[in-house]
Amino acid sequence: MRIGLLGFGTVGRGVYELISQRTDMKVKWVLCRRELTLRDTKVTHDFQDILKDDTIDTVIEVMGGLHPAYDYVRQAILAGKNVVTANKAMVAAFYDQLLPLAEEKDVLFRCTASVGGGIGWLSELERVRRIETVSRVGGIMNGTCNYILDHMTRRGLSYGDALRQAQELGYAEADPSSDVDGIDTWHKLVISANVAFGVSLNREQIPVAGIRHIAAEDVARFTARGLTCKLIATAKNQGGSFSAYVQPTLYPAGEPEAAVPANFNLITLEGNTSGRQSFFGQGAGRYPTAYNVVQDCVDLIGGTGFYGPWGQKVSLTNEETYSYYVRGDTDSWLEANTKELWDGAVITKPVSVTNLHTWLREHPCTFAAAMPKA
């Protein structure tokens, strides 16, 4: 396998190092913006150098962002080159275009590292789906948010210090808003649900709330009551009725999610035969992510691509109800739906996901988290 590697940042450098130790694949070109010299590998700022090189059979895209990443990947597929990517923003946005195009052009496409970093979640999900119906996928899908929440809870760090550490460790996106506002988790949920259910979710209908506004006072209230806050993705297929949402959620001690440390993810599916299966591992970081990129390359050498059928567009209804912890703004809707107060913070009566997220969008500096189900 002769590879054009697009991107030489946290993940790209790790991929380069791992591939350098192998004899079955070689990085011939690296595309990046900075000045860089590599032994035995050409470095370019011009993607055309890679596209026009007929000896390159595989493009690995680890640049991030939608453009030019998507344009390069598309051109690579059109030129008959296989593609491996870790770029969940791009895969979630262009899922319906990329997979059919790869099939039409008879090239292989894989993106295991795009969800769960170093966890073989997507490749296992694909195997699960060969023989059973999946009714739910979700869990902790963002290493940066888990790192922040874990370090605020167990080490008493401030939100800002914990985020800075996650950035220094290479876990965060180039713009960490994508992590803390739940966007990255949203992308991963879309990809997971599409693979699990064989559909194409209407991603604009997925309500997303992040952790940007969590404060030490929230964490203190949760800890005093034996609860731990995690950012959770949920997607369900209940007999052809689909729901999906991303929101902070509280777990009592003893639940597996409550114990997930640092940059780890815990992603779970419910299958009609296997029941509940959870996948635990490092969801972010150079080598865990590079590991899954290289695993995908090995799969390509074996002729295994990704993850059809991509299925029809489906709409969502998010009428499931939760009680929520809400701290920040208040108004007559919140007062009418208040069940109790925790030192000034509101615990709501059960309200639908749709209603709570609609209210939250109108009160964007407020922090809310779903309470454990009774």
Report, as residue numbers or ranges, the catalytic residues. 188
For the window 241-280, what string marks contact with ligand NDP as x by the rule CB under 6 A?
Answer: ----------------------------------------
Verify binding: residue 9, ligand NDP, rule CB under 6 A: yes
Closest contact distance (angstroms) between CB of 62 and ligand NDP is: 4
142, interface contact from ligand HSE, ligand NDP, none, CB < 5-8 Å by kind: ligand HSE
Q: Which stretch binds ligand NDP (CB under 6 A): 18-26, 31-39, 51-59, 233-241?
A: 31-39
What is each CA distance from 224 to 2, 148, 228, 315, 342, in whole angstroms?
56, 19, 10, 40, 11
Task: Name the residue with the smallest CB distance to ligand HSE.
Answer: 144
128: tokens are: 């699960």
Q: According to CB under 6 A, which one of 4, 12, 210, 248 is a site residue for ligand NDP?
A: 12
Strand pairing report for 200-201 and 134-140: unpaired
Closest contact distance (angstroms) between CB of 362 and ligand NDP is: 30
308, interface contact from ligand HSE, ligand NDP, none, CB < 5-8 Å by kind: none
195: tokens are: 């693979």
Q: Which is nearer to ligand NDP, 268 or 289 (CB)?
A: 289
Q: Which is nearer to ligand HSE, 141 or 356 (CB)?
A: 141
CA dist 245 and 112 (Å) reads 22
Closest contact distance (angstroms) between CB of 155 and ligand NDP is: 21
Verify binding: residue 284, ligand NDP, rule CB under 6 A: yes
Q: Tokens 């319906």 sit at which residue?
A: 96
Task: Summarize as ranges the residues that interact with ligand HSE (CB under 6 A).
Answer: 117, 142-144, 171-173, 179, 184, 283-284
Residue 73 burial (C-beta neighbours within 10 Å; 0-12, 13-18, 19+): buried
CA dist 134 and 275 (Å) reads 9
DSSP class of residue 65 equals S
The distance of Cα 153 from the centroid of its chain, to the nearest Å, equals 22
CA dist 212 and 218 (Å) reads 12
Q: Which stretch binds ligand NDP (CB under 6 A): 3-11, 158-166, 227-235, 351-359?
A: 3-11
CA dist 183 and 138 (Å) reads 15
The residues near 270 (Cβ < 8 Å, ≥ 6 apart) are 134, 135, 136, 137, 276
Closest contact distance (angstroms) between CB of 16 and ligand NDP is: 10
Applying CB under 6 A, the residues found at the interface with ligand NDP are 7-12, 31-34, 62-64, 68, 86-88, 113, 117, 170-171, 173-174, 284-285, 289
